Amino acid sequence: MLSAEALEVQRRLREDTPFWARHCARILTPAKELVPLVARPWQLELDEALEEQRRRGMPMRAIILKARKLGFSTWVTAKFMQRVTQMPNRHAIVVAQDVKTASELFRMAERIYSHLPTEEQLGLGFSIRPELVARNFAENGRKFMQFGERATQLRQRSLDSIYEIDTANTPAAGRGTTPSELHGSEVAHWPDNGKLLGLLNAVPDDPGTIIVLESTANGRNHFFRRWQRAVEGEEDPEVGGSYVPIFAPWWRDPQCAARFRDEEARERFVASIGDGVYGEEEPLLIERFGCTPEQLLWRRRTIREKCEDSIELFHQEYPASPEEAFIGSGNTVFSSILISRAIGAAEKAPEPVEGWVQGVDYVTKRTRGGTVEVPTRALWVPGRDARRLPAADRPPAGAEMLRVWEHPVNELTEAGKPEGERREDGCYIVFVDVAGDPESSGRDGDRHCIQVIDHISKMQVATWAGRIDHVDLRRLVLLVALYYNEAWIGVEVTGGYGLPIAVPLQQEYRYRYMFRRREVDTRTERELSKVGWETNRRTKPLMEAAMLNAFKDGTHGIRDMATALEFNTYVVNERGEHGAVPGENDDRVMAWMGAQYLADHLRPRRRRKGKRRRVRGFEPLDPDFGW
């Protein structure tokens, strides 16, 4: 009969992985020393996340994006070995990306088992080291250990649990079985996603089951999409269930630091921070993550000696942030350094307010088909009140709210300030990217996107993205432009998708401040003025060049994290074309670049005291651009 103290220890050894690992598991250090497995902070975070899911009665699911050599495979191996040696009828499967890694993980599991204390060594009246009743360690075949008590005529096996190792390039492990634990190691580098899908579907959605997928980044493949879904809190549509995202950067690891020879060498290094090909990101790393000179020295050496002198490869293998991991592992149009800075700026931006715009002061205007009621002003309505507006004014069903960082500067918003403190009316640009063919849309289907920027500072003041019909979209565009002091409106009309927005705004609503482009009629050789922006072989490089300059000089103005992150997936494909990676969208990026470019090439409109606001900006500023 075990004492109460012994029963409590027995329970903890069965359920508490950090406790079990510290007292029972042994691992080899890089110096080949056999030591107890003590959880590192990021390993402990993973374990706590899984156990929290279990306590809530949920299946245990985690996806890990990491830098190299942080020990996640070691921890998952230990957790699985704890479960197969302490719990009955478990079937743990570990799948590595290649045979070498599979062999290393299996030897790690064998070492943990071989050093489990015996009943005598434990001294508590019970054993935590079951019998190894079967095993196979074929170098290129199935590797497994089966634990339990050897069956006799009088008794059957009471444990009967299996720890199995497989590789990603062999037929699916566990086929015909029901795994209770699954560890996919470096899944972003697996040659075939089909095997992963088969394994994921084999694990039941029971609270006692575990799935851990971990990897360094490898482009924007299936692992990237799973990571995005986990970050956004979505269920995985392929297998169901929600995954906890765990990110572990290189700068958290104390081993990612190098010693200086002496204080003089350290002082010379500190003076060089920010210089050279490696130094451009260093001030940002200090500012965002508090990196020390020792860590930056390690970073420079690692880029040079272990990453083929490639900063992009370093970002992939040793990311400082999740965004950087995928930037480094993909062929983005803009450099990873510039995108990382934009993401950092968006992180620091204040939270926007959400709401809607209501039209007021309607007038009747004649059209070819009759008449239309057109608002001449727009009022801001906070999000909490927007759904209670009259039916004609409230947001369409399911529509996202308008997100605003700055309301327009005008007589209304400046009212109440002393005369000398009132600011001049603001000038704004509203650019609209209209959703294209739904058959070729991205991960969640194509969206319309509106970006609003301050014409002078180019700062983002508002944004909206969603799926509503064209009638509702052009009304929203009109109201946003009216609210922002009768802003310039640019509508992308490439492929004709934006014409149902641009043409009625000009012809029916008679909005005066529509961007118009110049085109030459090839038949008559006459120069034409057409409403709307067209992205083509000539204009797209101009937009990207302007965006590049804005990134470099820090005037990009991005405050919306979704906009900043979308530059991660704006890439150069195999044919040299620029656009969203398959399965993703670039609507926010295109609307943002369009707004920035128009800000450079349209004259800001100003209100003269005592006079009506009048149109300016139709003087050609750039003969290649047009208006």
Q: Give dist(CA 3, CA 5) in Å, integer.
A: 5
pLDDT band per the 50, 70, 90 thresholds, residue 174: very low
Task: Give residue-wise pLDDT tens across range 400-413.
Answer: 999 999 999 998 88
Q: Give dist(CA 223, CA 236) in Å, integer.
A: 12
Whether residue 611 has pLDDT greater than 70: no
Q: Give dist(CA 212, CA 101) in Å, integer.
A: 17
pLDDT band per the 50, 70, 90 thresholds, residue 552: confident
Instruction: Write down the pLDDT at residue 476.
Output: 96
Q: Using DSSP, state whether 447 is helix, strand or coil.
A: coil
Q: Kindly list the structural domains of the chain, giving each domain's residue range(s) and its CATH number in brackets, ordered by start.
A: 7-248 (3.40.50.300), 252-330 (no CATH), 353-554+585-601 (3.30.420.240)
| Contact present, 504 and 432 (Cβ < 8 Å) | no
| pLDDT above 90: percentage of residues in the chain | 59
pLDDT band per the 50, 70, 90 thresholds, residue 359: very high
pLDDT band per the 50, 70, 90 thresholds, residue 582: confident
Whether residue 213 has pLDDT greater than 90: yes
Ranking 113-117, 207-211, 217-221, 257-261 by mean pLDDT, the lowest is: 217-221
Classify the phi-psi angles of 32: left when phi > 0, otherwise alpha if psi is within -120 to 50, otherwise beta: left
**Nearest partner of 431 among 513, 373, 356, judged by Cα:** 513
Please tell me which of 149-158, 446-455, 610-619 the model is most confident about, judged by mean pLDDT. Answer: 446-455
- Taking residues 212-229, report their average pLDDT: 88
pLDDT band per the 50, 70, 90 thresholds, residue 150: low
The whole-chain average pLDDT of the chain stands at 87
| Contact present, 334 and 570 (Cβ < 8 Å) | yes
Whether residue 155 has pLDDT greater than 50: no
**Crossing angle of helices 41-55 and 17-24, rounded to 10°:** 130
- Taking residues 10-35, report their average pLDDT: 93
Whether residue 369 has pLDDT greater than 70: yes
Instruction: Write down the pLDDT at residue 154.
Output: 42
Cα distances (Å, whole numbers) of residue 31 to 110, 196, 298? 19, 34, 19
| Contact present, 47 and 244 (Cβ < 8 Å) | no
pLDDT band per the 50, 70, 90 thresholds, residue 569: confident
Could you count the other beta carbons within 10 Å of the beta carbon of residue 138? 8
Please tell me which of 209-218, 221-230, 614-623 the model is most confident about, judged by mean pLDDT. Answer: 209-218
Instruction: Write down the pLDDT at residue 306.
Output: 92
Whether residue 176 has pLDDT greater than 80: no
Higher pLDDT, 219 or 378: 378
Check the CA dihedral 65-69-74-75 and report its sign.
Answer: negative
pLDDT band per the 50, 70, 90 thresholds, residue 239: low
Instruction: Write down the pLDDT at residue 159.
Output: 74
Instruction: Write down the pLDDT at residue 338.
Output: 84
Whether residue 384 has pLDDT greater than 80: yes
Higher pLDDT, 391 or 352: 352
Q: Give dist(CA 473, CA 503) in Å, integer.
A: 13
Whether residue 240 has pLDDT greater than 60: no
Whether residue 440 has pLDDT greater than 70: no
Task: Give residue-wise pLDDT tens across range 89-139.
Answer: 999 999 999 888 999 999 999 999 999 998 888 888 898 999 999 888 776
Q: Give dist(CA 450, CA 479) in Å, integer.
A: 12
Task: Give residue-wise pLDDT tens across range 591-602.
Answer: 999 999 999 989
Q: Give dist(CA 556, CA 273) in Å, integer.
A: 24
Q: Using DSSP, state whether 534 is helix, strand or coil.
A: coil
Please give the full DSSP string across 134-196, using - where no structure is assigned.
Answer: EEEE-TTS-EEEEEE----SS---S--EEEEEEETTSSPTTTTS--SEEEEETGGG-S-HHHH
pLDDT band per the 50, 70, 90 thresholds, residue 521: low
Please tell me which of 126-140, 379-393, 565-579 the model is most confident about, judged by mean pLDDT. Answer: 379-393
| Contact present, 248 and 319 (Cβ < 8 Å) | no
pLDDT band per the 50, 70, 90 thresholds, residue 522: low
Ranking 87-91, 319-323, 443-447, 540-544 by mean pLDDT, the lowest is: 443-447
